[in-house]
Chains A and B, each alone.
Chain A
């Protein structure tokens, strides 16, 4: 029993590392990309404005990007702490897999929303291919699949009597 519990903890921490790596990747690649795309759009007016405004655009975009990285870093730390707690207590309560699926579902949903924003904004600038649609649709299918798995997993641990 003790050996089984230990192996579950090892699995939980392995999954924690994987979930955190996946989350950090999504945060610093997709969410940052979406944020940058939004800021680029919001500063389009400045690009067409006075020379002073045009001069400021680079600094504005840079500032948003740098502050964005700091904010994402803080969120990543919170995620690491939260996921560790969720997985560790998940082992205790016997709902580890449900928690893993839930965390992966949330991360993948964030990935999907970030990609959808990027597709919308990139489409206007002509940066649009079939993959612009197929990749988000694939990610959406993954989200739907994960949500289906989540509904199949028991909310409470089943006990053998």
Chain B
């Protein structure tokens, strides 16, 4: 179907692109530390390494898998920002390889390089290191690879393997695992039903040839049901084998209500209220649209168009033309159906806080589905010069703009060489920090003993956007409170502030650091004051201002 890459060049192209992807991913290894998103993962991993248990000992709305993985890494190597980034880059590279491995049976060797290159490009420019959504997306692609193998040789172990990968996804991101499970369940159900029906027809035909009345074949009704139930059980069994033990332990430790509240209720309700960012309208205001809005529009609606086309193709081949289950196009349709199901779920996820970072997982899925769809275009058209020019030109116009700008800005503004050293703090491991951030960490480390509690908060807690979690990791001092991550809608409530105050009092915390700035102007509830100043009043009443480093104020107990 696809012409193999020719000779020596064919053997070289993949390693060359692999090395290029590696270099691209490493290019921004020393980009400035992200105080919130990156910080919260590092702090939570450190808390786990210190023996604490998520949800019971510290609040988080994220699944525990990545925290545990990073805690395990920190048990082996020194806990530093750079170690976590290297780990993340290895996982991102794995995601690129998985994307290539998946696109290859869907679109061929050469075409598979295109989504892999785009994904490498996206992951290299997005930064946001230690963000668990990318490993979770990689785990979805692993599940897809296992499903592809299952469709190829029909061995149960591959279906079970797909389940294991889905379980891993759920450990890394519970919501991703849920969305992927829906897509996979739909695809596996349809496939098992079709295989059973085909087998039944074959058996009926066999009996008919032997002289039996084919309409009375008893297994015709129960066969597909049984086969489907068996396939789904294999998938679910694999997923549960991986995900259930850890979640069961956490539920046992923290209580089912707490785990449900942190992992399901809060993200589904409060998170949406305090973090929601509007999605671009379907028909943009062309008179007022900016470049950034245009890219936002593309990131949302182009994947949706790809998924709609994939569903149309799957419906045509699976339901209308009813291709035999051994047909290669049947396999492509089933795989596209599974990935589309997962991708549509990730679109829903992206709309809860519409931002490039949150849209990226679904665009990764859409890139692979789109490549598979393009590979189904008749070769006569696909290999023609106008088609190649049109597709290449459209890709250049639609997808490269933000990255041309990204690299141009990087070259002109703040490019930090991966080999350079930009910070002296041991845990920063040469990753650039804010000047005040480094100074406040040095001050706190000089004034306190290792193991001494220090509370890092904000200048005001009635209205919170983010807090500096990276500074907590850098300081290496334990947090006295369960609520290290001060999330709007949570730390702005009276009950949580009372709990924090109680913990500060109970643990006799001598030092408090507050950070001013990062006030939300977003069109959501994070920009609105809750009117609760209990924690602020407590700090001002019980601590005196010690010193200031830019936006950071250090307080000492009176």
B420: interface (CB < 8 Å): no
Name the residue among B295, B386, B411 with the largest chain A CB count within 10 angstroms: B386
* With contact pairs A113-B396, A130-B289, A137-B397 given, residues A147 and B411 touching in the complex (Cβ less than 8 Å): no
How far apart are the CA atoms of A136 and B295 in the complex, in Å?
Answer: 16
Interface segment, one of B7-15, B175-183, B387-395:
B387-395
Partner of B287, one of A119, A129, A137: A129
B409: interface (CB < 8 Å): yes
A89: interface (CB < 8 Å): no
Instruction: Decide: A144 and B393 in contact? CB cutoff 8 A.
Output: yes
* With contact pairs A43-B412, A130-B286 given, residues A119 and B401 touching in the complex (Cβ less than 8 Å): yes
Instruction: Decide: B390 and A144 in contact? CB cutoff 8 A.
Output: yes
Instruction: Decide: A129 and B389 in contact? CB cutoff 8 A.
Output: no
Instruction: Decide: A121 and B397 in contact? CB cutoff 8 A.
Output: no
Complex contacts, A157 vs chain B, CB 8 Å: none
Chain B 361-412 interface residues, beta-carbon cutoff 8 Å to A? 384-386, 389-390, 393-394, 396-397, 400-402, 404-405, 408-409, 411-412
| Interface residues of B, count at CB 8 A | 28
Complex contacts, A148 vs chain B, CB 8 Å: 384-386
Instruction: Decide: A42 and B386 in contact? CB cutoff 8 A.
Output: no
Shortest beta-carbon distance from B35 to chain A in Å: 22
Instruction: Decide: A45 and B291 in contact? CB cutoff 8 A.
Output: no
Instruction: Decide: B405 and A121 in contact? CB cutoff 8 A.
Output: yes
B260: interface (CB < 8 Å): no
Chain A 62-100 interface residues, beta-carbon cutoff 8 Å to B? none
A126: interface (CB < 8 Å): yes
Shortest beta-carbon distance from B282 to chain A in Å: 15
Instruction: Decide: A45 and B412 in contact? CB cutoff 8 A.
Output: yes
Complex contacts, A26 vs chain B, CB 8 Å: none
B1: interface (CB < 8 Å): no
Complex contacts, B286 vs chain A, CB 8 Å: 129-130
Instruction: Decide: B413 and A48 in contact? CB cutoff 8 A.
Output: yes
A150: interface (CB < 8 Å): yes
How far apart are the CA atoms of A48 and B551 in the complex, in Å?
Answer: 22
Nearest chain-B residue to A47 (Cβ)?
A: B412
Instruction: Decide: A109 and B400 in contact? CB cutoff 8 A.
Output: no
Nearest chain-B residue to A151 (Cβ)?
A: B385
Complex contacts, A18 vs chain B, CB 8 Å: none
Interface band, chain A: 35 or more
Nearest chain-A residue to B404 (Cβ)?
A: A120
A30: interface (CB < 8 Å): no
Instruction: Decide: A42 and B291 in contact? CB cutoff 8 A.
Output: no
Instruction: Decide: B291 and A143 in contact? CB cutoff 8 A.
Output: no
* Chain A 91-135 interface mask (CB, 8 Å, partner B; 1/0): 000000000000000000100110011011111101011101100
How far apart are the CA atoms of A48 and B390 in the complex, in Å?
Answer: 39
Instruction: Decide: A124 and B385 in contact? CB cutoff 8 A.
Output: no
Shortest beta-carbon distance from B404 to chain A in Å: 4
How far apart are the CA atoms of A129 and B289 in the complex, in Å?
Answer: 6
Shortest beta-carbon distance from A144 to chain B in Å: 4
Partner of A41, one of B291, B292, B412, B414: B412
Name the residue among A38, A46, A130, A150 with the largest chain B CB count within 10 angstroms: A130
Partner of A128, one of B290, B384, B408: B290
Shortest beta-carbon distance from B297 to chain A in Å: 10
B217: interface (CB < 8 Å): no
Name the residue among B286, B290, B393, B402 with the largest chain A CB count within 10 angstroms: B393
Complex contacts, B411 vs chain A, CB 8 Å: 42
Shortest beta-carbon distance from B285 to chain A in Å: 10
Nearest chain-A residue to B384 (Cβ)?
A: A151
B294: interface (CB < 8 Å): yes
* Chain B 215-228 interface mask (CB, 8 Å, partner A; 1/0): 00000000000000
How far apart are the CA atoms of A116 and B393 in the complex, in Å?
Answer: 9
Name the residue among B291, B400, B405 with the largest chain A CB count within 10 angstroms: B291
How far apart are the CA atoms of A150 and B385 in the complex, in Å?
Answer: 9
A140: interface (CB < 8 Å): yes
* Chain B 473-490 interface mask (CB, 8 Å, partner A; 1/0): 000000000000000000
Name the residue among A48, A113, A124, A140 with the largest chain B CB count within 10 angstroms: A124
Complex contacts, A132 vs chain B, CB 8 Å: 291, 294
A44: interface (CB < 8 Å): yes
Shortest beta-carbon distance from B260 to chain A in Å: 43
Instruction: Decide: B389 and A144 in contact? CB cutoff 8 A.
Output: yes
Chain B 263-311 interface residues, beta-carbon cutoff 8 Å to A? 286-287, 289-292, 294-295
How far apart are the CA atoms of A113 and B404 in the complex, in Å?
Answer: 12
Complex contacts, A116 vs chain B, CB 8 Å: 393, 396-397, 400-401
Instruction: Decide: A128 and B294 in contact? CB cutoff 8 A.
Output: yes
23 CB-based A-B contacts, threshold 8 Å: A41-B405, A45-B414, A46-B412, A112-B393, A112-B397, A113-B396, A116-B401, A120-B400, A120-B404, A124-B291, A124-B405, A126-B290, A126-B291, A128-B289, A130-B286, A130-B287, A132-B291, A133-B294, A137-B397, A140-B393, A144-B386, A144-B390, A148-B386
Known: A112-B393, A123-B295, A129-B289. 14 other contacts (CB 8 A): A42-B408, A116-B397, A119-B397, A120-B401, A120-B404, A121-B405, A124-B292, A126-B290, A128-B291, A130-B289, A133-B294, A140-B393, A140-B394, A150-B385
Interface residues of chain B, those whose CB is within 8 Å of chain A, are 286-287, 289-292, 294-295, 384-386, 389-390, 393-394, 396-397, 400-402, 404-405, 408-409, 411-414
5 nearest CB pairs, A to B: A123-B291, A120-B401, A130-B286, A41-B408, A45-B412
